[in-house]
Amino acid sequence: MSKEYPPDKNFSEKAYVKSVEEYYEIYKRSIEDPNTFWLEKAKDLDWIKFPTKSFNWINKDRKVFSWFEDGTINACYNCVDRHLKEDSEKTALTWISHDLKETKKINYKQLHELVSKFSNVLKSKGVKKGDRVSIYLPMIPELIIAVLSCARIGAVHSVIFAGYSVPTIKDRIDFAESKLLITSDGSYRNGKVINFIEDINLALEGNPTIESKIIIRRVNLDLQLKENEYFWDQEINSENISKDCDCETMKAEDPLFILFNSGTVEKPKGTLHTTGGYLLYVNQTFKYNFDYHKSDVYFCTADIGWITGHSYMIYGPLSNLANVIMFEGIPTYPDNESYWKIIQDHKVNIFYTAPTVVRSLMRFGKEPLKKYNLESLKLLGSVGEPINPEAWFWYYENVGNGKCPIVDTWWQTESGGFLIAPFPGAFNLKPGFATKPFFGIEAEILRDDFSKAEIDEPANIVIKKPWPGMMRTIYKDHQLFLDIYWSKFKDYYFCGDRAKVDKDGDYFIIGRLDDVIKVSGHRIGASEVESALVSNKNVGEAAVVPFLHKIKGQAMYAFIILREGIVISDNLVEELREHVSKEIGPIAKPDKIQVVKALPKTSSGKIIRRILRAIAYDSEDYGDLSTLVNPETIEQIKLKKL
């Protein structure tokens, strides 16, 4: 059995939840009487009309439900305006440029003014409650201002990760039928300028819904505005733009945002989150799992293009009056010490990153860390993929100096906020364990036949009932929502992960059960990459599976069948990798591409990916082979394995 790390006494004394007994007492109430429990918690937010009930199944068969349905609220008000009374001078956002040369601090009063003005800019372009606004921006303060402004006026934001390429951007803007696009002339990556404008213009070709485009000048390209294009700075500083903008009254169940993600279907799925339940859930999980106190400085390294950036860089922390550090760059530029320097210079107390980042910085050893004073740290967070013990210990010993709890947060785009994560003042930590569920989360480990798994037996992790932060549907495709999440175990939410629970009730997440691959913590659907590969003229068929990668955790292994007459070469491999990058984005490039004569299939022609997965993982555990019609493929593929 691995060693356990009990909570530090000093930490526990100041923590919101001080012992595992106290946690169980609150958890029990949250399960036995969720209505009273969540209405009590809802008092932590400012409502326009306080709700009288919490959860309601509107249609249990169709999995339509509501939280706080008769309450009205505004998310931006809760993240900005309500703090003006308490501490308007407090820094809301500390932004650091990609090269660490520039720092900007924005306090809550300034944030309020910027958001109010930009909300008026949006209104002046005809954006109204319920309209969708797409946002494609690097990590600059305007991204947070844009998101909050949408929330202020009731527009639904759809942030697109600024590393995606043209077809993916296009799909997402078109599918959301956005009225307005907010983008920049470009961004800085690894010290280089990346031009966004060409890609954006291509992505908007033939788009019938975008009426205006607002452009932030980040890299100062020499741009001539076209019709219906506007510069952010000119608009926000225009004399006609007032500093006052009322917050729209939103029903708790009005949509707040759409966030597209990858999955088991070829097309991107738009996860839809609504206002009241989501906001309360991220507010509470941020407060309890990070044990956030008002003097803490918080640094999250996630990109706002992903759910972590939405929930734990914007809505969770700002609704808790936090001071959020936002870094424009990457951990390895200008050198591999940028995170340590930021932690030292800004006296960061809570640092939240991904295991892949820890692994990539571990390569440089302890020396770089020794140059910096990281004493301010009190808690370290982890997200996006299982954290392997080696990375856990390195993070704990070297970054946290053996005194900071590691809060391993297991959750998903769909869950809105943390599902299972330590209460750091209360729990014993065990490396690799996400520990116990948040209030209101009833997790179970079920076998495929619905029976309960034994202690320590790996199986499907499911959740019994909806929680406030849960997605409400897949945008414009409720049937897909039912098929993906509610069909395998009927009345239980199927997370798509494999996990086990030990005798203490601590959960260990093993990994995905479906064809989602987690590359450096980024979520990529195998089927999306396969369809990108077969859209290349040289490729007939493709199957993509994960393999273990030292830094990325998982990386992609593509098995392809070339078209008649095509011969593989290094150039062709590179062309295919570039092709995937152009279709989806650089994060989706397969690390390995192996040409095969045939793929393992069933008699109906379905590729049996689990066989390929086993080969890629150097395992002989192929599972049931009775439906395999071409068993010879296993040896053929293994012989030429890369």
Contact footprint for ligand PRX (CB under 6 A): 261, 307-308, 382-386, 408-413, 434, 495-497, 509, 512, 518, 523
The minimum distance between CB 385 and ligand PRX, in angstroms, equals 5
Smaller CB distance to ligand PRX: residue 284 or 409? 409
The minimum distance between CB 280 and ligand PRX, in angstroms, equals 18
Pairing state between β 522-525 and 539-549: unpaired
Smaller CB distance to ligand PRX: residue 216 or 354? 354
Smaller CB distance to ligand PRX: residue 343 or 434? 434
Smaller CB distance to ligand PRX: residue 157 or 518? 518
If 0-12 CB within 10 Å is exposed, 13-18 middle and 19+ buried, where does residue 604 land? exposed
Q: Which helix (H) or strand (E) holds 151?
A: helix 141-153
Strand order in the sheet with 255-261: 229-231, 212-216, 180-184, 132-136, 156-159, 255-261, 269-274, 473-474
Smaller CB distance to ligand PRX: residue 523 or 601? 523
Smaller CB distance to ligand PRX: residue 457 or 632? 457
Amino acid letter for position 98: H
Long-range contacts of 573-581, Cβ-Cβ distance < 8 Å, separation of 24 or more: 575/536, 575/538, 576/533, 576/536, 576/538, 576/539, 579/532, 579/533, 579/535, 579/536, 580/529, 580/532, 580/533, 581/165
Smaller CB distance to ligand PRX: residue 69 or 385? 385
Smaller CB distance to ligand PRX: residue 5 or 231? 5
**CA atoms lying within 13 Å on the CB side of residue 106:** 20
358: its two tokens: 């820890």
For 601, phi then psi, to 5°, come to -135, 160
413: its two tokens: 């785009």
The minimum distance between CB 554 and ligand PRX, in angstroms, equals 10
Helix, coil or strand: residue 434:
strand
Q: What would the 3-class secondary structure string for 501-552 be?
A: ECCCCCEEEEEECCCEEEECCEEEEHHHHHHHHHCCCCEEEEEEEEEEECCC
If 0-12 CB within 10 Å is exposed, 13-18 middle and 19+ buried, where does residue 451 land? exposed
Smaller CB distance to ligand PRX: residue 72 or 435? 435
Smaller CB distance to ligand PRX: residue 346 or 523? 523
The minimum distance between CB 382 and ligand PRX, in angstroms, equals 6
Residues recorded for the chain: 642
The minimum distance between CB 277 and ligand PRX, in angstroms, equals 17
The rounded distance, in Å, linking the Cα atoms of 526 and 263 is 8
Q: Which helix (H) or strand (E) holds 167?
A: helix 166-176
The minimum distance between CB 453 and ligand PRX, in angstroms, equals 18
State the DSSP string of 207-276.
-SS--EEEEE-SS-------TTEEEHHHHHT-TT--S--PPPPEETTSEEEEEEE--SSSS-EEEEEESH
CA angle 260, 80, 301 (to 5 degrees): 50
Smaller CB distance to ligand PRX: residue 331 or 469? 469
